[in-house]
Structure 1
Amino acid sequence: MNIEYLNKEGIFFMRFTKKKLMSAVLGTGVALAVLGVNGADVSAQDDEHPIFNYEDFPKTVSNDAEPSGEGELRIAYSSDAPFEGTFNWAFYTNVVDSRIMGYFDESVFTIDENQMFTQEGAMQFDIDEEERTVTFTLQEGVLWHDGVEATIHDYVASYEVIGHPDYEGVRGSTLGFSLLEGFNEYRDGEADEISGIEVIDDYTAVFHYEEIIPSLLSGGFWAYLFPTHHYEGLEVGEIAESDLTRQTPIGIGPYQVSSISPGESVTYERFDDYWRGTPSMDGIVLEIVSPSTVATAMQNNDYHYTIAFPVNQFPDVAEIEGVEWLANMSSVLSYVGFKLGEWDDEAGEVDYKPEEMKMGDIELRRAMWHAIDNETVAERFYNGLRWEGTTLLPPYYASYFDETIESPEYSPEIAEEILDEAGYEYDGDYRLTPEGEELEISMAFIGGSDVAEALANYYIQSWRNVGLNVSLYNDRMLEFNAFYDMVDEDAEGIDIYQGSWAYGSDADPAHFYGRGARNNYPRYASEANDELLEKINSPEAFDNEYRTELFYEWQELMREEMPVIPILYGSGVHPVSTDVVNFTVEYGFNEETALYNIGLVEEEE
């Protein structure tokens, strides 16, 4: 499937009961240690624990028949949490909502396999580096689902909403916004409009920038229209919670929303006036399905496709009849974050104050990294479909990923030495702070998947093995949406948390670690970080060799300062029923596998 959505947040988590842990991790099935599991080559580490490589799987379905033009694609979204249901690109906060939106509202830009914007979408752009302008031209005849024609005013409105003083969402902190002339003054309430936006006609606008930077071409332009007429009469502060967003959202995609069961399911129907052409199916049904039952549901042919299929379950269900398994590297990085400050709403930036925070001592953080064995976690919990993380930039960005950086050696002995030398002395079973006070570390962790509880127990026990008293925040796993609310609000009592990011098309680390980024959940900042992030998006960084060097320097800086421990990179495995055609997990836009061309065929008896 080739859906153009540019999400910047996301998470994949898994939970395991203790009872199931040993059987799943150590006894995944002798029969799978063979070659050729539904198109994927399998290399076995041992007979009881097969190891897979995503590169051995196909990325596009093998069925090359013509779609019938009929039928309803049934999609399972594997999650133990209901979806939040904020179906507007300017206001959503998690990857589940973004995936749901991707079926009815699409980006106006397409991207290539290198995550760079191309000119095949509904919007074209022309950059004048000398004048520091970008001219955007929207195709005529692009219709909203209520039949109203989209105009360039709907694109301008996205910037006006995100920059509005009453806007409380998480967008607008990146240079793609702040370098737009007049955007900061508008956001601060000092101007009634964004002076850098010049509307030429109903389909054309010129944006004036203070600088033209590399990230504009890989996610720096806002990628979605805002249906101005749909929200007529609503104030900006009312949009996110309105029924127009949660019950009757509209878009410009090939399918339109026909009904929503809050938190549970969305039904879509074909939009015959889609600007690219007639969609190849009657509709789509997407339902939230528990990770514990989603494999069985696929086996029973209840669904054609599963989003976020739990990779740890793959060995047990690899031989499902009527299913083809696709795989590709994902942009996901899972990590342990340390709370090193708080968010300053008034200043609109991070208040970094490690000297006041429990996890502010870098030696404590360094010891905690040495104490965990992420390589074994990847193999035993995920059968090689996750692998050890080394830097905060995933290998998904092949041009910028520094493969020479290694994780600290897994060694509880080294961890103990570091803690001893830093003055964390034992008092009974656990260590005290260097000041002689009790050290209790509270960790927030999302529950709801097949291995989350076991992972949490593993990390907690690993740290306890070196004398650190770590326990779950409020002694329980957290629901997905509640977790992110608490982490975002810097809830009192959370010292560390285990999260994940699904990166979008732009590799710019400022989205997650910039001083002014609300998504900077560790609340980390430094002058060295500020300087590198600024250079990464300087005009000079159009020289890709120079920009690559800067990315390498930034990854090394994060390796040294450790506001976050990278845990795992990963790949997704995607079960797709064999009656689905024109479906791919390849990166970049391809007309043949675009959403409107995905279809169903009648399988032969």
Structure 2
Amino acid sequence: MKKTIFGLVTLLSVATLAACGNGGGTSSSGNNSSDNGSGSDLTFPLATTNNDDAIEDGELNVAVATDSQFKGLFQWEFYQDAFDNAFMAPSHEPLFTNDANFTITNDGAASLELDEDAKTATITLKDNVKWSDGEDVTADDVIFPYEIIGHPDYTGIRYDDTFRNIVGMEEYNSGSADTISGITKVDDKTVKIEYKEMNPSMLQAGGGIWTYAAPKHTLEGVEVKDMESSDQVRKHPVTFGPYYMSNIVAGESVEYLPNEHYWNGTPPLKKITMKSLPTASATEALNSKLYDMIFQMPTDTFETYQDIAGYTNLGRPQTSYTYLGFKLGKWDADEGKVAYDPDSKMADKSLRQAMGYALDNNAVGERFYAGLRSNGTTLIPPVFADFHDDSIEGYTLNLDKANKLLDDAGFKDVDGDGIREDKDGNKLTINFASMSGGEVAQPLADYYIQQWKEIGLDVQYTTGRLIEFNSFYDRLENDDPEIDVYQAAWSTGTDPNPTGLWGANAAFNYTRYESEENTKLINAINSSEAFDEDFLKEAYSNWQQYAFEEAFAIPTLFRNEVLPVNDRVRDWDWSYGAPNPWATVTVTSDSRS
């Protein structure tokens, strides 16, 4: 997936995307269990153990638990959320494979070679890689995503510093050049890309190198500004994964048939059907044996499906975290960067820190999520064991410290009503946005508001209630002035690099925070010096410490995801670094038991 932008995830749903961190990133595909990292005794297998013979012409029925319709942006350059990504998984495949540490390997559809001295990356396609319509995947298809994302009329949100780092990209984006000078088609299967600077994220799947191809032969007749709404993206996407999308019912379901041209063998199933499923119906659907697997299964109801006969729960730590974000500015579309406002309502970091110290998120993880979530400490999840700084304790419940921070900063209760005024003695009301969905969305948000009242802060819901997923992110992207603080979640992708989420040029930086020091620390992570492992580890630690102190975003929960799999399913390995499980999964019976 795209580097740090694995997609958006709902607060109470579990992202299946790389997108992005979860717990113990060093487990190999051979391991058969995964500690959930929460401190409880729950352990989960990572792969199925069914060894019965697979049946011919088997069909797999899958669901995605969601309280919102999927948008249907089935193109890597345009998709934004975890739901679309989940539906893309059987059909859309990256160019590169990766190991359990998310480092790119050369076992996929293409290989990657970096030349640090020449500042180039060379991508070479295998000879037998074809699109689902039978056309060859070519160098032109590898180059085309750069021409889409860098185009002045691009409507997506992935044009960021990783693309600006390509020689000639900024000239192309401004319209002053018709081509990207730093990208060269060497031959029909080989592309060379020249960069301004090399950095170790280029070694990570979804990192500094765009890891996808786009079918130029189907899309080149569509204006870039119209691609997002085109049939080629929404109704008839051409892909090179093991299956292709044969029938899409907008917002509801997708059917997949085997891609007879798949480069890595013949897909074994006759058909896959994937449907959206309301989270409230997920457990009953398992009891009724309606599906073989349900992705993004809500962890707040884990105890209701923990022991359902005929299913085995696979589990793994996620490359994601829940967080509180503080609105500190707006997005400047003309400049393509955040515009930080030092006079915004939440600009005083003591106020932000105090709100963090008012919460007991370990208790939240145990009470609301059966121990499947635990207190988040930094903005780099612990699944990235080489980069997560476990010396940072994060924000834990400490009401005395929270009150002192507010007192010292000048937020006093002037009129004696138990509610603090701002530093000028004026009424202070903080507007809080949080998503609806799942059984604990409301009680969890209520708990946060209750705790903030304990330290004298008047926090009210934006719109007076929780907000539906799509509407919530529309408001964040458009910098709704009625949002001062919000609760959301990120799937970081398979590269922990914070540039795409928290950099000054990142559209995903919804807090709109920037500073010279933040940019300096992120630039260190992106520097050529960071190819030195010790330098890189220290650079990540320095940025995590800075983010903790500034508290522009406060991680609240590290997350684990659970995937119920029916016992008739065979050859499904959910480990990070395992080969694409969609290419191998089979069933051993005509019906679910």
Q: Distance in 2 between matches of 1:301 and 1:435?
A: 61
Distance 1:450-1:210 versus aligned 2 partners, 3 A rule? same
Equivalent residue for 2:551?
562
> Residues 159-174 of structure 1 correspond to what in structure 2 (within 5 A)?
159-174=146-161
Confirm or deny that 1:294 pairs with 2:292: no
- Structure 2 residues not aligned, in runs of 5+: 14-31
Contact 1:186 1:193 in 2 (8 A): yes
Contact 1:11 1:95 in 2 (8 A): yes
Equivalent residue for 2:8?
10
- Deviation string 1:497-521 (CA, Å, 9 cap, x unpaired) is 1010011111111111111111111
Q: Distance in 2 between matches of 1:308 and 1:125?
A: 32
Q: Distance in 2 between matches of 1:11 and 1:170?
A: 16
Amino acid at match of 1:469: D
Equivalent residue for 1:405?
392
Question: Which of 50, 70, 78 lines up with 1:91 in the alignment?
Answer: 78
> Residues 135-534 of structure 1 correspond to what in structure 2 (within 5 A)?
135-175=122-162, 177-218=163-204, 219-355=207-343, 357-426=344-413, 427=415, 428-534=417-523
Distance 1:365-1:202 versus aligned 2 partners, 3 A rule? same
Contact 2:5 2:501 in 1 (8 A): no
Q: Distance in 2 between matches of 1:59 and 1:255?
A: 23
Distance 1:488-1:288 versus aligned 2 partners, 3 A rule? same
Equivalent residue for 2:25?
none
Q: Distance in 2 between matches of 1:4 and 1:112?
A: 16
Q: Distance in 1 between matches of 2:41 and 2:2?
A: 26
In the TM superposition, residue 4 of structure 1 has moved relative to its aligned partner by: 11
Contact 2:4 2:501 in 1 (8 A): no
- Deviation string 1:314-350 (CA, Å, 9 cap, x unpaired) is 2222211110111111111100000011111111111
- Deviation string 1:402-421 (CA, Å, 9 cap, x unpaired) is 11111244122332222222
Q: Distance in 1 between matches of 2:34 and 2:141?
A: 48
Amino acid at match of 1:516: N
Contact 1:7 1:95 in 2 (8 A): no
- Deviation string 1:204-239 (CA, Å, 9 cap, x unpaired) is 121122222111111211111111111232110000
Distance 1:460-1:481 versus aligned 2 partners, 3 A rule? same
3-state SS of paired residue (1:330): strand
In the TM superposition, residue 41 of structure 1 has moved relative to its aligned partner by: 11
3-state SS of paired residue (1:331): strand
In the TM superposition, residue 12 of structure 1 has moved relative to its aligned partner by: 3.7
Distance 1:40-1:231 versus aligned 2 partners, 3 A rule? closer
In the TM superposition, residue 429 of structure 1 has moved relative to its aligned partner by: 3.9
Moved over 6 A (4+): 3-6, 39-43
Q: Distance in 1 between matches of 2:578 and 2:230?
A: 32
- Deviation string 1:473-500 (CA, Å, 9 cap, x unpaired) is 1112111111111101101211111010
> Residues 97-116 of structure 1 correspond to what in structure 2 (within 5 A)?
97-116=84-103
Give the stretch that moved more between structures: 571-580 or 208-217: 208-217
Contact 1:199 1:205 in 2 (8 A): yes
Q: Distance in 2 between matches of 1:7 and 1:442?
A: 27
In the TM superposition, residue 163 of structure 1 has moved relative to its aligned partner by: 0.3
Distance 1:324-1:6 versus aligned 2 partners, 3 A rule? farther
Equivalent residue for 1:74?
61
Q: Distance in 2 between matches of 1:361 and 1:436?
A: 15
Q: Distance in 2 between matches of 1:165 and 1:99?
A: 29
Give the stretch that moved more between structures: 581-590 or 382-391: 581-590
Equivalent residue for 2:17?
none
Q: Distance in 2 between matches of 1:40 and 1:145?
A: 35
Amino acid at match of 2:287: Q
- Deviation string 1:50-74 (CA, Å, 9 cap, x unpaired) is 98445x2111111133432422111
Q: Distance in 2 between matches of 1:570 and 1:485?
A: 24
Q: Distance in 2 between matches of 1:127 and 1:42?
A: 35
Contact 1:4 1:107 in 2 (8 A): no
Amino acid at match of 2:8: G
Distance 1:195-1:66 versus aligned 2 partners, 3 A rule? farther
Contact 2:326 2:485 in 1 (8 A): yes
Distance 1:53-1:309 versus aligned 2 partners, 3 A rule? farther
Amino acid at match of 1:184: E
Aligned-residue Cα RMSD (Å) equals 2.1
Q: Distance in 2 between matches of 1:62 and 1:335?
A: 35
3-state SS of paired residue (1:10): strand
Equivalent residue for 2:19?
none
In the TM superposition, residue 363 of structure 1 has moved relative to its aligned partner by: 1.1
Q: Distance in 1 between matches of 2:437 and 2:168?
A: 44
Contact 2:58 2:590 in 1 (8 A): no
In the TM superposition, residue 362 of structure 1 has moved relative to its aligned partner by: 0.9
3-state SS of paired residue (2:524): helix
Quote the sequence identity (%).
37
Equivalent residue for 1:601?
588
Equivalent residue for 1:130?
117
Q: Distance in 2 between matches of 1:66 and 1:486?
A: 50
Contact 2:320 2:489 in 1 (8 A): yes
In the TM superposition, residue 174 of structure 1 has moved relative to its aligned partner by: 3.0
Q: Distance in 1 between matches of 2:34 and 2:195?
A: 49
In the TM superposition, residue 101 of structure 1 has moved relative to its aligned partner by: 1.2
